[in-house]
Amino acid sequence: MKSKTFNLKKFSFIRPGYIITISLILAALLILSAVIEYNENKNEIRHLLDEHANSTIDLITKSSANILSAEREMENLLSQQLLGTARNVKRLDSTGVISNSLLEKIAEENNVYRINVFNKNGEKIYSSNISESAHMQGEGKYSPKEFIGQVLSGEKQELVIGFKEARFEKGSRFAVAVSRAPAQGGAIVVNLDADAYLQFRKNTGFEKMINDIGSKSGIVYIVLQDQNKILASNKKIDEFKGYGNDEFIKEAFEKNLTRTREITYQGNKVFELVHPFIVDGEKYGIYRIGLSMDEIVSAESRMYRRTIIISLVLVIISVFVVGIIVSNQNYKLISKEYKKIQTFTGNILDYMPQAIITTGLEGTVKIFNKAAEKLFGKTSSEVSGKNVNESLPQEAEYFKGNDEFSNLETIFQNAAGEKIYLNINKTLNLSAAGTPEFITLVIRDVTELKKLDMKSRQNEKMIAMGELASAVAHEVRNPLNSINMISQRMGKEYKELYESGEFTNLNGVLQSESKRINNIIGEFLRYARPPKLNPVKINSDDFLNRIKTIAEANISGKNIKFEMSSTENIELTIDSSQMNQALMNVINNAIDAVDAGGKIELKFYRKNKKAIFELSDTGNGIPEENLGKIFNLYFTTKSKGTGLGLSIVQQVISQHNGTVYAESAEGKGTTFFIELPI
């Protein structure tokens, strides 16, 4: 048997040139593949950077706008407090009792830094700090006339000077000025030491927000600047003192554009996004956010290394190796996408307005977002990883069982002790196999919606009741007038014919009752055609003091205690006469409901941009079946009541775009809430 030999001639067609050509073609294909893969990765990373930058700038601009609004509100509150003090000094000044010692006492009582009184020439004549000789000599860094000239000249009666440098010491002041009485001329200036406030604003304002966000991984810098200087940044950046002649940024600022580019910062590539910072149509500067491009640089380096390796070892590379490389790249890409999705999803959950709570089937809390923290008064770290029965015992019942439900409404007492309405949706999260794996509750606070719905239903009811009242009043008044006229005629024409005392008495009763019914009809018509509002501006303290005076007169001799409290003096725009009637109707109801030795309490405060009148009594309360009817026309539990009192209250409050509602329980008293927009 002849042995077979390997014949190279069979493979003579595979020449070295062919191998080199094939190798070069494979090398070119692999290199091209690497370049394409690099570009795809670069584009994908750049897309992610773009999304990251846009989501970050959106968060920053919204947070900045909120911070700016909060600072404005704080400054407005400071201004109102200081103006109130200045007005009190003005009243005392007009009586001629002002002295340095009195100003010092007022300053101490109102917790202000300094109160100065200037004559019409801008010369200081009184001061709460008279012991500081330099102040009375007029020395300092600037003249007071620079700030109070408009008040001295009579151009303005009141002026919010705002923040300014201290005239004699280091530090800052926040000041307001009001004019003195015309006969005296001059100005009264009240100063507040603003250093603590400015430091608080620094610790909680733009820089704090920018530092917190700028500390996240991947963010190189966050800068807020104008053309000449840096307004705020998360680190010291000398290169960005002003954008000057940078056309890229100038165009974005002038045309209100959001633009991106790649630049070199401190020797490293940075993906930069620029976006104008605009609040209420006013431009404050431009934000610049720099994101690290290390991933793109790393991908570029990997491409170069891979090209060299492919060129050197192409002969021994196999399809298997190529497959491993591709698989490895896909795995890395998927891992990055997964991490990105995790981060992105986490951010979405954190900033959703609804409370999101997710637990395992065994009850362990997995997700507890910021809205849930605010609603339940617990942090995510306090709840996560713990059983829902332990961390949220009141809500644990909603996690029981594998049933799903939607739009379940319940009443809940939040962390602040307020009663609110919640809408709850429960869903089961299934595994890949289709079996339940997690339970998620989506909880929404619908308290305001409930109030709006209640107000809408009240308005509809008022319109219907008003139409009914008008119709009934007109139908009754005409025959009633006829009866009254007949009674008067009988009294005149038949008096001599019927000299009986019984006839006279009956005729008198007939006329008296007709008059009483006519008065009731007049009240119905007043409800059907309410007088037009005459709103005026009035301080809440003045209005409340008037109410207190009337209420104390009404309870005189009844052994009932009346208490009133107010958290702040607010300027209200109301029809004081009609509001006085509405509030006194509620107070008189409370007086009728409270026995001797009981108490009525009126509280006034501001909440959520609303002025709240809260009136509570220690009476027997309103039965649950009657609580929903108390504002209905004609509904009354009093033997001589007309059922108009609370209906008129509701009508007056509705005309002021407000809301009135009551909470009560038998044996525990009643509380009425009147909410007016500020």
Element (DSSP H or E) covering residue 192: strand 187-193
- How much is the pLDDT for 421? 78
| pLDDT tens figures, 1-11 | 444 444 444 44
What is the signed CA dihedral for 288, 289, 294, 299, rounded to 10 degrees? Answer: -90
Dist. CA 148–CA 146, nearest whole Å: 6
Mean of pLDDT over the chain: 78
Whether the Cβ atoms of residue 457 and residue 446 lie closer than 8 Å to each other: no
| pLDDT tens figures, 325-362 | 556 666 676 766 656 655 556 667 767 777 888 888 88
Q: What is the CA radius of gyration of the chain?
A: 39
Neighbour tally for 224: CB within 10 Å: 20
The owner of tokens 């009483």 is 516
Phi-psi bin for 634: left (phi > 0), alpha (psi -120 to 50), beta?
A: left
How much of the chain, in percent, has pLDDT values that exceed 70? 72
Pairing status of strand 599-607 against strand 561-566: parallel
The pTM of the whole model exceeds 0.95:
no
Quote the longest CA-to-CA distance of the chain. 167
Whether the Cβ atoms of residue 350 and residue 335 lie closer than 8 Å to each other: no
Phi-psi bin for 664: left (phi > 0), alpha (psi -120 to 50), beta?
A: beta
pLDDT tier at 283, thresholds 50, 70, 90: confident
- Residue 297 has, within 13 A of its CA and on its CB side, a CA count of 12
Dist. CA 210–CA 207, nearest whole Å: 5
The pLDDT of residue 510 is above 60: yes
Could you tell me which residue, 646 or 516, shows the higher pLDDT?
Answer: 646
- How much is the pLDDT for 20? 66
Residue 590: which residues within 8 A CB-CB, separation 6 or more?
A: 600, 615, 617, 619, 670
- How much is the pLDDT for 616? 95
- How much is the pLDDT for 172? 84
User: What is each CA distance from 562 to 389, 590, 668, in whole angstroms?
Assistant: 44, 11, 17
Write the DSSP string, 344-408: HHHHHHHT-SSEEEEEETT-BEEEE-HHHHHHHT--HHHHTTSBHHHH-TTTGGGGSSS--EEEE
Q: By CB neighbour count within 10 A (0-12 exposed, 13-18 middle, 19+ buried), where does 430 fall?
A: exposed
pLDDT tier at 666, thresholds 50, 70, 90: confident
Whether the Cβ atoms of residue 151 and residue 122 lie closer than 8 Å to each other: no
Listed residue (151, 156, 141) closest to 189, CA to CA:
151
Dist. CA 614–CA 578, nearest whole Å: 18
Q: What tokens appear for 627 in the block? A: 């609580």
User: What is each CA distance from 437 to 342, 355, 395, in whole angstroms?
Assistant: 18, 20, 19
Residue 563: which residues within 8 A CB-CB, separation 6 or more?
A: 599, 600, 601, 602
Q: Which residues of 576-593 are buried (b: 16+ CB within 10 A; e: fewer)?
A: bebbbebbbbbbebbbeb
Element (DSSP H or E) covering residue 445: strand 436-445
Could you tell me which residue, 609 or 642, shows the higher pLDDT?
Answer: 609
Give 536's strand partners: 574
Interior CA angle at 568 toward 564 and 570, to 5°? Answer: 105
The pLDDT of residue 659 is above 50: yes
- How much is the pLDDT for 6? 44
Chosen CATH of 98-200 out of 3.40.50.150, 3.40.47.10, 3.30.450.20, 3.30.310.80? 3.30.450.20
Residue 507: which residues within 8 A CB-CB, separation 6 or more?
A: 487, 490, 491
- How much is the pLDDT for 142? 78
Dist. CA 109–CA 383, nearest whole Å: 45
Q: What tokens appear for 309 in the block? A: 């390796």
pLDDT tier at 12, thresholds 50, 70, 90: very low
The residues spanned by each domain of the chain are 12-73+300-347, 98-200, 218-295, 352-443, 451-528, 536-677
The pLDDT of residue 13 is above 50: no
CATH H-level superfamily of 536-677: Histidine kinase-like ATPase, C-terminal domain (3.30.565.10)
CATH topology of domain 451-528: Helix Hairpins (1.10.287)
CATH topology of domain 218-295: Beta-Lactamase (3.30.450)
Coil vs helix vs strand at 605:
strand
Neighbour tally for 369: CB within 10 Å: 21
CATH H-level superfamily of 352-443: PAS domain (3.30.450.20)
Whether the Cβ atoms of residue 230 and residue 253 lie closer than 8 Å to each other: no
- How much is the pLDDT for 65? 81
- How much is the pLDDT for 530? 66
Whether 218-295 and 536-677 share one fold: the answer is no
Could you tell me which residue, 41 or 565, shows the higher pLDDT?
Answer: 565
Mean pLDDT of 5-22: 53
User: What is each CA distance from 442 to 335, 352, 384, 399, 430, in whole angstroms?
Assistant: 29, 10, 16, 12, 16
Dist. CA 375–CA 356, nearest whole Å: 11
- Check residue 433 and report its DSSP letter: T
